Structure 1
Amino acid sequence: MKIALIAHDKKKDLIIEFSKLHEAYLKTHQLYATGTTGKKIMEHTNLSVNLKKSGPLGGDQEIGSMIANGKIDMVIFFRDPLTAQPHEPDVSALLRLCDVYNIPLATNPKAAELFLGELKSK
C-alpha cells in the first residue's frame, strides 16, 4: 500500500509519535511525505520515506497529483484546524482529491488508528 504522511507544523510531533508507535507496520508499506514531515519522521524512526517538497512549496500539490494518478492508496494528514495556513487552497485541493478519487483520509490520530487497525486485520 502507498501511504502519504503529512502534518502541519503544530502536528509534526504528533505524526512522529504516531509513526514510532506504528513503525513496524508502516515499514511494510511504501511511504510518501511532504518534505519537512518526512525528514522529521526519518530522523526519529528507521522508516524510509519518499520525500516531496514542503507543503507550502508545492508538496501538497505533488501528493495531490499522485492521488489523481492512482499512485496513493491512503493519506494520513494531521491538520491543525486552529491555525490559518498560508497554503490553505492547496490543502483544500488535496482533501477534495481524496474525496474525488475515494482515497481514505485520516486527519487526526484516532481516524488513522482506525484505518491502520482495519488494514492490520486483513
Structure 2
Amino acid sequence: MNIALMCHNRKQELMVQFCTAYCGVLSKHTVCATNATGRMVAEATGLPVNLFLSHEHGGIEQIGQRIIYNEIDMVLFFNYPKDTDMDDSVMYISRLCDEHSVPMATNVATAELLIHGLARGDLDWRIGMNPNRVPFAL
C-alpha cells in the first residue's frame, strides 16, 4: 500500500513520533510525504520515504494528483486546527480522498485506527481498486 504523510509545521514532531511508534507497520508499505515532513520521518525512523515538493511549492497538489490516479491508499494529514493557513490544503486533500474512497486521518487518534486496520489487513480492499499497481515511485 502507498501511504502519504503530510502535516502542519506544528504537527511535524507528532508525525515523527507516530511514524517511529509504527515503524514496523509502515516498513511493510511504501511511504511518501511532502519534503520537510518526509525528511524528518526518514531521518528519525530510517524508513525510505519518497519525497514530494514542500507544501509551499506544490507538494500537496502532487499528492493530490496521485490520489486522483489511484496511486495513494491512505493519507495521514496531521492538521493544526487553530491555524487556518492550511485549511484549503486540508479541504483539497479531504475532498479528493472522499471522491476516490481513500482513507484519511487528520489527527493522531484517527491515524492510530487506520494504522491498526492496515496492520490487520482491514484495508486490503484498496488493492482491488488498482490490482495492476506497481510499487510507488517518483
Q: Which residue of 2 aligns with 1:33?
A: 33
TM-score, normalisation: structure 1: 0.94
Which residue identity does 2:106 align to in structure 1? T
Q: Which residue of 1 aligns with 2:71?
A: 71
The CA deviation at 1:88 is 3.7
Percentage of identical aligned residues: 38
Cα distance in 1 for partners of 2:80, 2:67 equals 22
CA shift digits 1:60-113 (9 cap, x unpaired): 00000000001000000101111121x543332111101110100011111011
Of the structure 1 ranges 111-120 and 69-78, higher mean CA displacement relative to structure 2 is found in 111-120
Cα distance in 2 for partners of 1:89, 1:68 equals 17
Q: How many residues align?
A: 121
CA shift digits 1:9-66 (9 cap, x unpaired): 0000000000000011101100010011001111111110000011121110000000
Cα distance in 2 for partners of 1:108, 1:59 equals 20
Q: Structure 2 unaligned runs (5+)?
A: 122-138
State the SS of the aligned residue for 2:71.
coil
* CA RMSD between the two structures: 1.0
Contact 2:34 2:51 in 1 (8 A): yes
What stretches of structure 1 move > 4 A for 4+ residues in a row? none
State the SS of the aligned residue for 1:97.
helix
Cα distance in 2 for partners of 1:66, 1:50 equals 13
State the SS of the aligned residue for 1:110.
helix
Q: Which residue of 2 aligns with 1:14?
A: 14
Q: Structure 1 unaligned runs (5+)?
A: none
TM-score, normalisation: structure 2: 0.84
State the SS of the aligned residue for 1:40.
helix
Cα distance in 1 for partners of 2:35, 2:102 equals 21
